[in-house]
Chain A
Amino acid sequence: MKRILVIDDAATVRLYHREILENAGFDVSEAINGLEALEKIEEATFDLYLVDINMPKLDGYGFLRALRQRPIPQAPAIMISTESSANDRQAALVAGANLYILKPIKPEQLLPHVRGLLGEWQQP
C-alpha cells in the first residue's frame, strides 16, 4: 500500500485529506507542520507528500528544501496553497514541489494527480 504524508496545520484539512486518500486505498500519516514532517521522515518512508504552504515553525517551502537535501529515497510532493500568484507557484517548484495546486481541493481533482505522480515517479 502506498504511503502518503499529509502535512497541514489545520486538523480539519488533515482529516479531509485522510478520508479522501484512505477511501482511495492509500495509507495516510499526518504532520502538523514542516518540522514534525521532518521527524516523521526519519521514522518512516513515504511515497508521496501532500504539503500545505503556510504553517508555523517550518512552512511548506522550508520542509521541501530540507527534504530534498536529505540522503533518503525521494518521493514526489504536491504543494497546496491558497495563494495564486505566479511567484508562489515558482517558489514551490524551486523548493522541490512536483506539482502546485490551489485550495479548496476536490477529491476528483486530487486523486488523478496523486495516482499520476506515483505512477510516473522515478528515483532521481
Chain B
Amino acid sequence: MIVMSNQAGISDEDFQKFREFFYRKTGMLFEQSKRYFVDKRVLERMIATDNPTFRSYFAMLRFQASGAELQTLINLMTVNETYFFREEYQFRCLVDSMLAEIVARRTSTEPIRIWSVPSSSGEEPYGIAIYLLEHWPPLKQWDVEIISSDIDTQILHRAKQGLYSERAVQHVPEPLLKKYFRHVGTQYQIRQTLREAVEFTQVNVTESADMRSHRHFDVIFCRNLLIYFDDLSRKTTAESFYDALNPGGFICLGHSEAMSRISPLFQIRRFPNAIVYQKPLEAR
C-alpha cells in the first residue's frame, strides 16, 4: 500500500477530473477538504483492479460497459449503516411539516399512508412508528398506515422479528428504549404491538407489477437505495414513485442522493428541517 501510493499518486488535475465526473454521475461533490478520503478509496480500488495508474483506472471507471466499477466506488464513498433514527432530521420534518400539510388538505378521514422502502432490517419503519407515537399528537385523530418493503425475503424476515443489537439502538433515548423495546439476551426486540403495526411486503421497485400494488401513499421514504442503481433503474423507480404517491405527496431521499440527477417530475420543498420532494398538487 505504501509502496503503491508512492508510484501511483493522484495529482491535482486527476482529482479535479475525477471530482467533476463523480459529481455529474452521482451529484456528490467532494470539496478539497475531502481529498484524503477520496484519494484513499480511489487508490484502494486501483490496487484491487490492477490499475497501476490513475489514468488507466479512470478509463476503466468511465468506459466500462457494465458500470460495475463505478458502482463499487459509489458503495465505498457512501458509508451505509442502518441504525435507529438515522438521518433523524427527516422524521422531524415528517411530524413538524409534511403531515401538517397533508392533514390540512384532507377532505376525508381515510388513513394516512407512509411507505418505507427498502425496509432493510426494519430500523426505519419502526423508527417512523415510534416518532409518530412520540411526536405527532394528531395521531389521536388520524389513522396512519406504515408499509415497508424490501426485495430481500431474508431481510424482511429479520425486519418482522425486530431484533436489534445494542449498536443499532444506540441513538434511541433510554425512556423510549424501555417503552418500545424489550431485552432479549444481549439484544433488543421491538415490542409486539409495534411489530403488528407495520406491514412488510416484498417489492422489486423496478418491477411495474410490484409497484402497481403499492399506491396511494402520502409519504415515501426511500433513502440510500437509488444511489446504488444505474441511471435507468433510478429514473424508472422515481417515475413509479410518482404514480405511487397521492397528489401533493412527499418523497424523502438519503442525504447523498439528489433528485436533480434523477427526474424532473417532482418539486423541491424546503422545510425547516429538511429538503424533500413533492408530487405537484395539481398532478394528474
Contact = CB atoms under 8 A, between A and B. Distances in A.
**When A and B assemble into the complex, do they touch directly, with CB atoms less than 8 Å apart?**
yes
Interface of A: 9, 11, 31-36, 38-39, 42-43, 57-58, 62
Interface stretch (B131-139, B188-196, B263-271): B263-271
B260 A33 contact: yes
Interface stretch (B19-27, B49-57, B153-161): B19-27
B275 interface: yes
A32 B264 contact: no
12 contacts: A9-B24, A31-B260, A32-B24, A35-B264, A39-B260, A39-B268, A42-B270, A57-B261, A57-B263, A57-B264, A58-B260, A62-B264
A124 to B, nearest CB: 22
B264 A42 contact: no
A38 B258 CA distance: 12
A39 B27 CA distance: 12
B258 A36 contact: yes
Nearest to B24: A32
Interface in B224-273: 258-264, 268, 270
Contacts of A11: 20, 23-24
Tell me the interface secondary structure of chain B in the complex: mixed
B268 A38 contact: yes
Nearest to A37: B260
Contacts of B27: 32, 36
Nearest to B17: A11
Q: Which of A33, A36, A43 has the largest number of chain B CB atoms within 10 A?
A: A36
A58 B259 CA distance: 11
B260 A42 contact: no
A88 B245 CA distance: 35
A43 B261 CA distance: 18
A57 B275 CA distance: 19
A64 to B, nearest CB: 14
A28 to B, nearest CB: 14
A36 B24 contact: no
A33 B258 CA distance: 12
Contacts of A62: 264
A32 B23 contact: yes
A42 B20 contact: no
A67 B258 CA distance: 19
B58 to A, nearest CB: 14
Contacts of B270: 42-43
A34 B268 CA distance: 12
A43 B260 CA distance: 14
A55 to B, nearest CB: 11
B81 to A, nearest CB: 25
